[in-house]
Structure 1
């Protein structure tokens, strides 16, 4: 069942989404080689609790950490660990919070230092594809229009692998609500978008093959060919003329650009559709 939110509920969801954005901005301030993903997990858990909220992921269906920290060929659901991050790693941090009963949930991929041009381009194109999908999140369109826009920009134009097994989703009082939001599909198909639906749109894009597998821990999803994968996610409210983005990458990017350990050369005012 798809749940339409009231304006008051959307305002509360925006507060939840913004807390996720603020937490990811804290990560952007300090992320550097030598840190571990367990350091990130602790930072995020502490920041969320200090702001009177609850980490959504912790103990969700048995997940044992505050965040998913996915490095290089890990697509999503990476377990935080004690391995030191190094120059050339790409790190996707996905997290959620419950604030006043409402979930926020989004993700951002960071680049540590210099990476090959093909990796930098993958990060750029995946981030662009998120906004391409968001452009279609208007009342009267369909979920398939969002899916097609993402697939068109990543797979058809750039030859990347769009993961099939993992999708975006509705968001609200539950972390995962209807409808599912795939990153591939046909225009004019799937559920019709109605004003005040809230969606977590999240392209998960591989450098080469779309094929993935899940490790024995039951969570960690990796590319089958061992090549990098990138994940970006926004919380989006469907509106009549233009989607309302509830989360905020601007504060993450501002912190990211001040951190000399992070590579932000892949994005400019001209390269991203905002």
Structure 2
């Protein structure tokens, strides 16, 4: 008998449908925050836009107050990888911005992140964002076809390392996670190839899959605010994330209005609505 392994929470179909409702609210809030991202706006402005959508939908933020976090979203700019705190920082033309947010509706959580380039687009930043997003979808596709959690990280790693051109780094300090009645739950979901296959993929499993890529080295540090994670070489970074459910008929991307159909089709995966 194994000891010390965190218990995985497996959801019923009804619970996963509730998580999808939370995911739809979250998707609308991220739509609004991304649309508001423009030169001259502050990261606090985006936080207010996001929070207003949650309030109108009767949802609450699972970020606000989490271990003392003071905002409803994380806004990570340029060399900031994750957990940036919204505030008075004014967005500049050419910034690459990752917006990570979550929503709770009727006790069930969703978690998702997107990256947007503000104003003038640097082709290398666009490549970084495109590869990170595609890596996420390859990981999600592996959840549909694989047998173990480790298959997700293998798929992300294999895709990123296969992309032509200058190599991008896959962050190893932070990983994806289980999600459900809490935001962060077992199991961990690495975004890179490891020697551990991890738990078996089975119906009722819900995961937040969130690769984080960098244009330079993968070493990171935490700033004095005890939240903001930055690349130590100052190179730019990117994050994309979706919450995904496994049920007995297939998978469904909980934080995408179409369940992930459009992005998964080129990968040969057809998501199935939760029965």
TM bracket (short chain): 0.7 to 0.9
Which residue number in structure 2 is paired with residue 260 of structure 1? none
Which residue number in structure 2 is paired with residue 5 of structure 1? 11
2:225 paired with 1:225: no
* Superposition pairs of residues 76-155 of structure 1, within 5 angstroms: 76-138=82-144, 141-155=147-161
* DSSP 3-state at the match of 2:154: helix
2:169 paired with 1:164: no
2:33 paired with 1:22: no
Structure 1 residue aligned with 2:186, among 175, 178, 188? 178
**Structure 1 residues 163, 215: CA separation in 2 closer, same or farther (over 3 Å shift)?**
same
Structure 2 residue aligned with 1:189, among 191, 197, 210? 197
Give per-residue Cα distances to partners, 1:60-95, cap 9 Å, x unaligned.
Answer: 011111110001111000011212111101111101
Cα drift, residue 216 of structure 1: 1.3
Q: TM-score, normalised by structure 1?
A: 0.88
Tell me how many residue pairs correspond in the alignment.
Answer: 258
Which residue number in structure 1 is paired with residue 40 of structure 2? 34
* DSSP 3-state at the match of 2:20: helix
Give per-residue Cα distances to partners, 1:29-87, cap 9 Å, x unaligned.
Answer: 33211101000111111221121111110110111111100011110000112121111
* DSSP 3-state at the match of 1:26: helix
Contact 1:168–1:200 (8 Å) recurs in 2: yes
In the alignment, structure 2 segments of 5+ residues that lack a partner are 1-6, 270-275
Which residue number in structure 1 is paired with residue 273 of structure 2? none
Contact 1:139–1:238 (8 Å) recurs in 2: no
In structure 2, how many angstroms separate the alpha carbons of the residues matched to 1:269 and 1:146? 16
Contact 1:36–1:82 (8 Å) recurs in 2: yes
In the alignment, structure 1 segments of 5+ residues that lack a partner are 252-267
Cα drift, residue 250 of structure 1: 7.0
Contact 2:33–2:47 (8 Å) recurs in 1: no
2:59 paired with 1:50: no
Give per-residue Cα distances to partners, 1:237-270, cap 9 Å, x unaligned.
Answer: 124574211112779xxxxxxxxxxxxxxxx989
Q: TM-score, normalised by structure 2?
A: 0.87
Which residue number in structure 1 is paired with residue 221 of structure 2? 213
Which residue number in structure 1 is paired with residue 74 of structure 2? 68
In structure 2, how many angstroms separate the alpha carbons of the residues matched to 1:30 and 1:145? 36
